[in-house]
A = this chain, B = another copy of it.
């Protein structure tokens, strides 16, 4: 739609109209539009943007489009853009660029900024330090409300967030927090130390981003300060960055629960070869494990030979056990991720799953029994064997499905690996063993 309008204007060389059209759009919409163009046209449209919007639009572009633009820009143009960007965005961009582009970016930043960028790049991946930015508003406690407001007025353009101001001492140690709301409603000569809240919630640069998300959510914060070992303020993390973290962590869990190594890039951008590699290791492990299930069948070959009909119930029993276990493991994995339950609740979880599985097992076994004896010509003793097996399989599956994620958590592993595929493989072997044991017991008179 929008792309066609611009394409038409480009073909007609109506550059002034393009500029006018882009000015009426939101920054995000302009970047969405630019992402649809390639090389020369992209650069041409980007150059038409007003100077103050160019940097903002740039920060929303795909990394390959950012790369194209940096490569064709002059040093001055590069500097103009990177001067306007926040450090957390610069770091995100640098991490995606090839080394020659990174060199060009760093060459065109001031020595001081380069120092900050290098510091931020050194924080471990997924740490608070790696997602923070350093453009925060700091005040001193002996300032008055009005002098604080004048300071804010002067630097407002360069700050990621001016609505939450942090009070620091001479050695940059965090002493308090005060909101712009409090500053504008207080008397002009009120000292900051009377206004500030000394009970500041903060995180350490090395804290995991998952902890950052938990704290922001728990305390309903918009901004969270990040400090070092000496409680010196180093940066801030804003809630919109945490929203990305929450989605990223959920995505990781989704993938891990399906036996896929975490994927960093979006689906369409990851190559088929990388994706194949991310999926194959678990498939190999699970394939080999499943051969043990096969051995159980071989072991009871004589039982199957005597009562051939038994084999036709194998898929139903294996699938139902797997599904029942996957339900419990999913529920528990998600409850652990959201902090609704913890390892100390193990007993409560097992008790609840036992009750649930008991109800579910009885209903399923009853339906199954009625279906077999009314719709098929299966002998009564086989129908009983299958139904009794079903009861045990469902109960055991649900309890194991709920227990393994808690065990993983207790051993500091990610509970998400104890999901569907792994649980199913474990339960398959168990299901068959239970089935053949009952069959040997209940059908001993017909087994040769």
Contacts and interface: CB of A to CB of B under 8 A. Distances in A.
A222 B240 contact: yes
B287 A201 contact: no
A278 to B, nearest CB: 9
Contact of A320 (B153, B218, B255, B287): B287
A264 interface: no
Contacts of A246: 243, 246-247
A428 interface: yes
A284 B367 contact: yes
B217 A243 contact: yes
A176 interface: no
By DSSP majority rule, is chain A's interface helix, strand, loop, or mixed? helix
Interface string A416-443: 0000110011001000100000000000
Given A314-B297, A315-B297, A258 B331 contact: yes
Interface in A300-345: 301, 304-305, 308-309, 311-316, 318-320, 322-324, 326-327, 329-335, 338, 340-341, 345
B316 A315 contact: no
A345 B246 CA distance: 26
A411 interface: no
Interface string A340-376: 1100010011001001100110011001100100000
Interface string A248-284: 0011011101111001001110001101100110111
B334 A255 contact: yes
A359 B162 contact: no
A293 to B, nearest CB: 4
Nearest to A180: B180
A308 B359 CA distance: 37
Contact of A340 (B268, B290, B421): B268
Copies in the complex: 2
B272 A330 contact: no
Which of A222, A323, A421 gathers most chain B CB within 10 Å? Answer: A323
Nearest to A240: B220
Contact of A364 (B25, B284, B420): B284
A276 B356 CA distance: 5
Nearest to A273: B359
A44 interface: no
A257 B255 CA distance: 12
28 contacts: A24-B199, A25-B199, A153-B185, A156-B185, A163-B163, A163-B181, A180-B184, A184-B184, A217-B240, A222-B240, A239-B239, A251-B334, A267-B349, A268-B341, A276-B359, A276-B363, A279-B356, A280-B363, A283-B394, A287-B316, A290-B319, A297-B312, A301-B311, A314-B314, A315-B428, A315-B432, A319-B424, A323-B421
Interface of A: 24-26, 28, 149, 152-153, 156, 162-163, 180-181, 184-185, 199, 201, 216-220, 222, 239-240, 242-243, 246-247, 250-251, 253-255, 257-260, 263, 266-268, 272-273, 275-276, 279-280, 282-284, 286-288, 290-291, 293-295, 297-298, 301, 304-305, 308-309, 311-316, 318-320, 322-324, 326-327, 329-335, 338, 340-341, 345, 348-349, 352, 355-356, 359-360, 363-364, 367-368, 371, 394, 420-421, 424-425, 428, 432
Given A242-B243, A275-B352, A287-B316, 18 more contacts: A25-B199, A26-B201, A220-B240, A239-B243, A246-B247, A247-B338, A258-B327, A258-B329, A260-B330, A263-B331, A268-B348, A272-B359, A275-B356, A283-B320, A290-B316, A291-B316, A298-B312, A315-B318
